[in-house]
Structures are given as structure tokens and as C-alpha cells.
């Protein structure tokens, strides 16, 4: 470590550190680098359970030092760099966790900036951070897919727009033009009652993070690896079932309004997010929304909205409804 400090300390380069725990964080960091073209050197600490080592962006500094798994050892390395005065900025999507080591790092950094974490900007209360932890006007980089529905807490920060979330087009294999797509996410289980009656083929996109997977014990679903859920949903004309996820925002704002979209929301969804989803669903001609709360939800069966009560116990299956 002394040798590294000696080599870097002589030149005193400016180093920016990015914490990227998921693909939204990484996309936000990449968009910020492209827009602002900073001249500092970048180190990315990534979450190994959600991002693969091969996801390393070209702008990460160096061949080994710039793309490191987040763990106690790399946090100690980062703390050492902060002690040496080399780290000028830290871009952070999460602050609720990290303990004393992260706190010791942040107090030694001249500037802290925040990265989009996906759904938090549309929740009344963010889950990844507490606004009072940061000074008013702290820069917050956000994607701009549904700015009109941004939660009031964002006004505490200086929001810097990143534009639309980048989505690469993805197509299913040939021969699957008549198919249904299930995107594993919280609440999607509300849309499924009789898996054995599902139309074939049925494609399942598992959640990339095992801890958030809701679809278990179904052996006749065909998993569909190697593509972006956002890209596949945007170009998939068949029925799509999805729950609470960032991909849902892409589906509601960019998917063809005439293509079937079935949305299930878990009981943990807050009122602000629920209101946004209801409003966006009402703008589509082929969208059904069901929630675990039992409150009336919007069901679009044509050009006019129909209100139905979703209690989570209806015997009718998702498969039966999309076939009708």
C-alpha cells in the first residue's frame, strides 16, 4: 500500500469513485461521464451479486484498479486513498447501509454526489437513503423517464437530468411471435392463478438478483437469459406481466400502448408510486393493474377505463385473461 501511495502521491491525480450496486447505478454513472466529460480518473466499486466482472465500463480507470468488487478489503483501500487526499468525489446510490467504514470514507471526501437508484425518485420515501443525511443542493443524477411523477423529496437536492434510461433493443428467438412474457418482480405473483393453464410458450425473465426473485417452484417456464428486460419488453408485442420494478417504468412510458401489459403491485408499494402507476396505466389502451391492497384499480379493456377490485384471491388466471 505504501508503494501505491508513493506513486500516486507524487502526481496527486484527481480520483472519482463510483459505487454501482445495480445496472441502473452503472447506467447513471456512465451517462454522467458521457455528459460532463470529466478529466479525473475513475474507480468503480461494484456489487458482485448484481453486476458481473465483465460489465466493467471502458471509462473505469486502469485494467485492474478501476473496477473492483465492493467488500471490506476494497473499502479499506478506498479509505487509504482518502487519507492520502487522492479522492475528490464519491458518487453514491445508497447511504442507509455501509456502517462506520463508509462513514469514515465519506467524511474525508471533498464532494459527495448521488446516483439514480431506479424507483426511489418515484417513492414518497426513498429506501436507499435519507435526504437529511445530505446538505441541501447536493447533486443528484436522475434518469428522466417520468419527471412529472418525481417525488417531492427530490427537491432537497440539485437534480441533474440524465435523459431517458438507455435501452438496447432485444428480440426473442424466431418462432416465438405468439408468446407471453413474465418479468419476475415483486407483485407479479398477483397476476398468476393457474400456472398449468398458461399459454405456450411462456418466457420467464428471472430477476438478476436472487434475493428479489418471486417466481419459485414452476418447472414449465422457459427462462430467457442473455437479454435486457427493458429492451425485450419495449419490442415484445405479446402479453407482458410485470410487478414493481424499474423495468415497469420503461414499459409504461415506452411500450406500445396497444400491446397488453399486466401490472401487479405488492402491498408494500407506497401511495405516491401507486398513484403514478395508476395514472400511466390509464393512458394505455391494453393495460390492467392489480394490487394486493384490495383498493379499486384501473383495468383498461379498450378505449375506456373499467374499475375492478383486486383482492388477490380471484380464481381467474392471468393465462385465461390474456387468452380472452
pLDDT digits (tens, 9 = 90+) for 198-254: 455 677 887 777 767 777 655 556 676 667 888 888 888 888 889 999 999 999 999
What is the pLDDT at residue 300? Answer: 38
Check whether 26 has a pLDDT greater than 70.
yes
Least confident piece of the model among 59-63, 104-108, 149-153, 280-284: 59-63
Rounded CA-CA distance 280/254 in Å is: 11
Q: What is the mean pLDDT of residues 123-135?
A: 92
Check whether 47 has a pLDDT greater than 50.
yes
Strand arrangement of the beta sheet that strand 202-205 belongs to: 222-223, 202-205, 180-183, 240-242, 261-265, 287-291, 296-300, 305-309
Check whether 180 has a pLDDT greater than 90.
no
More confident residue, 53 or 31: 31
What is the pLDDT at residue 139? Answer: 98
Check whether 109 has a pLDDT greater than 80.
yes
Res. 296 pLDDT band, cuts 50 70 90: very low
Check whether 322 has a pLDDT greater than 90.
no
Rounded CA-CA distance 298/176 in Å is: 29
Q: At what angle do helices 271-282 and 246-254 cross, to 10 degrees?
A: 30
What is the pLDDT at residue 186? Answer: 87
Check whether 5 has a pLDDT greater than 60.
no
Rounded CA-CA distance 156/253 in Å is: 26
Q: What is the mean pLDDT of residues 88-106?
A: 84
Q: Which residues pair with 42 in a beta bridge?
A: 16
Rounded CA-CA distance 279/149 in Å is: 10
Average pLDDT of the chain, as a whole number: 80
Report all structural domains of the chain as residue ranges with CATH numbers, in order of start: 2-161 (3.40.50), 180-323 (3.40.50)
What is the pLDDT at residue 231? Answer: 87
For 253-275, the pLDDT digits (tens) are 999 999 989 898 999 899 999 99
Amino acid at each position: 500500500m505504501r508503494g501505491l501511495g508513493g506513486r500516486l502521491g507524487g502526481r496527486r491525480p484527481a480520483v472519482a469513485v463510483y459505487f454501482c450496486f445495480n445496472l441502473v447505478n452503472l447506467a447513471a454513472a456512465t451517462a454522467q461521464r458521457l455528459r460532463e466529460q470529466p478529466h479525473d480518473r475513475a474507480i468503480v466499486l461494484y456489487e458482485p451479486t448484481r453486476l458481473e466482472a465483465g460489465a466493467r465500463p471502458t471509462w473505469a480507470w486502469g485494467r485492474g484498479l478501476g473496477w473492483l468488487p465492493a467488500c471490506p478489503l476494497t473499502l479499506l483501500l478506498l479509505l487509504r486513498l482518502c487519507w492520502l487526499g487522492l479522492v475528490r468525489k464519491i458518487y453514491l446510490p445508497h447511504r442507509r447501509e455501509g456502517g462506520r467504514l463508509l462513514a469514515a470514507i465519506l467524511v474525508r471526501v471533498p464532494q459527495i454526489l448521488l446516483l439514480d437508484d431506479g424507483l426511489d425518485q418515484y417513492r414518497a420515501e426513498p429506501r436507499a437513503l435519507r435526504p437529511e443525511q445530505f446538505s441541501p443542493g447536493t447533486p443528484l443524477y436522475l434518469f428522466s423517464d417520468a419527471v412529472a411523477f418525481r417525488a417531492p423529496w427530490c427537491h432537497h437536492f440539485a437534480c441533474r437530468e440524465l435523459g431517458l434510461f438507455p435501452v438496447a433493443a432485444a428480440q426473442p428467438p424466431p418462432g416465438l411471435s405468439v408468446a407471453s412474457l413474465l418479468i419476475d418482480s415483486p407483485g407479479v405473483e398477483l397476476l398468476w392463478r393457474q400456472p398449468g393453464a398458461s399459454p405456450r410458450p411462456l418466457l420467464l425473465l428471472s430477476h438478476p438478483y436472487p434475493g428479489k426473485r418471486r417466481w419459485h417452484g414452476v418447472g414449465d417456464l422457459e427462462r430467457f437469459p442473455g437479454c435486457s428486460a427493458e429492451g425485450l419488453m419495449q419490442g415484445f408485442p405479446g402479453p407482458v406481466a410485470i410487478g414493481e420494478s424499474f423495468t415497469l417504468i420503461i414499459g409504461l412510458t415506452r411500450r406500445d400502448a396497444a400491446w397488453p401489459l399486466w401490472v401487479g403491485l405488492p402491498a408494500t408499494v407506497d401511495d405516491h408510486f401507486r398513484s403514478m402507476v395508476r395514472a400511466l396505466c390509464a393512458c394505455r389502451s391494453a393495460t390492467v393493474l392489480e394490487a394486493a391492497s384490495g383498493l379499486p384499480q384501473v383495468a383498461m379493456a379498450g378505449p375506456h377505463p373499467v374499475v375492478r377490485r383486486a383482492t388477490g384471491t380471484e380464481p381467474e388466471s392471468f393465462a385465461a385473461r390474456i387468452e380472452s
